[in-house]
Amino acid sequence: MENVLLTLQYDGTRYHGWQVQPNGITVQETLQNAIERITGTRSAVTGCSRTDAGVHANRFYCTTGKPEQLSEDKFVQALNAVLPFDVAVLACRTVDDNFHPRYSAVGKQYVYRIWNGNTRNPFEQGRALHVRAPLDAEQLNTIAEMFVGTHDFSAFCSAGSSVQDKVRTVRRSTVTRQGDLVLYTVEADGFLYNMVRILVGTILDVNNGRLTPENVREALCSGNRDLAGATAPACGLFLNEVWYKKEEAET
C-alpha cells in the first residue's frame, strides 16, 4: 500500500462532521466505507481538520493507503464511483509516510457565507446563513481587520476546547459582498475550536448593535469569552483551502 494524499470536496449537511462518531454518519466513515469496497481492506484515514456537523469543505485533505497496482487516477475514479453524491475526491498523490495532513499544514483558509437578502434563497439552504437585516460589508470589514496579526484568541474559542496555547496568527480577515452574498474570509496558521464561527458571530453582533468595536477590542485583549459574540451556525462555514510546504506535498 502506498501512502497517498486525497483532496476531497463535500457538502456537510447530512454528516455529523468529519471524524467517526458512534451516533451518526460522518465524512471520514463514508470515505472509509468507499475505500473498503474498492480494496477489501478497512484502511485508516487521517484528515487535515475536524470539521463539525453541517460544515462543508471546498478543499479537504486526508491520507490513506492505496494499492500499488492501482494508479492515482484510477483510484480517484473508483472512489467517486462508489461515494455518495455529496462527497467527491478531486485528486490523489503519493506522499512520504511521515507526512501528516493536519500537523504538516502551514496555513488554512475558511470562508463563511451569509445570504443577505430579504427573502431566503432555496439554493443557499444549508450552505449559507440567512440574515435579513442589511449588512454593511465595508463597516464589518473594519471589524474583521481587527483580528489580523498574532493574538491570544481565547475569547473566540469554544469553552469545550482543551487546547492550552490559544495564540494564533491571522494573515487575512475580510468581509466582502457579492450581490446579496456576504463572505467572511479568514486565513491563519491554525484555528481553535469554533473560532471562525465565533469571529463571524462577533462581527454580526456589531452589525445588530449588541456589540461595539470597543467591545471587540476588549474581548481580543482580555481573552474573556463572555465579551465576544455568539457562535454562528455551522451551515455557512466552508474549509476553503489548506497549505503545506512544497517539499512535503504539492496540493
Q: How far apart are CA 45 and CA 131, in angstroms?
A: 37
User: Which residues 6+ apart lie within 8 Å of 194 measured at CB?
Assistant: 52, 157, 158, 161, 231
> Which of 52, 73, 96, 136 is flagged as catalytic?
52
Residue 191 has which C-alpha cell? 484555528
Q: How distant, in Å, are the alpha carbons of 41, 185, 200 from that of 18?
A: 20, 21, 21
Q: How far apart are CA 4 and CA 72, in angstroms?
A: 9
Q: What are phi and psi of 247, to 5 degrees?
A: -70, -15
Angle formed by the axes of helices 195-207 and 213-222, to 10°? 150
Q: What are phi and psi of 79, to 5 degrees?
A: -65, -45
Which secondary-structure segment (H or E) carries 89? Answer: strand 87-94
- DSSP strands (E only) in 11-86: 46-47, 56-66
Going by DSSP bridges, is the β-strand pair 46-47/56-66 parallel, antiparallel, or unpaired? antiparallel
Q: Is 152 an annotated catalytic residue?
A: no
- DSSP strands (E only) in 11-73: 46-47, 56-66
User: Which residues 6+ apart lie within 8 Å of 241 measured at CB?
Assistant: 58, 59, 108, 109
Active site members: 52
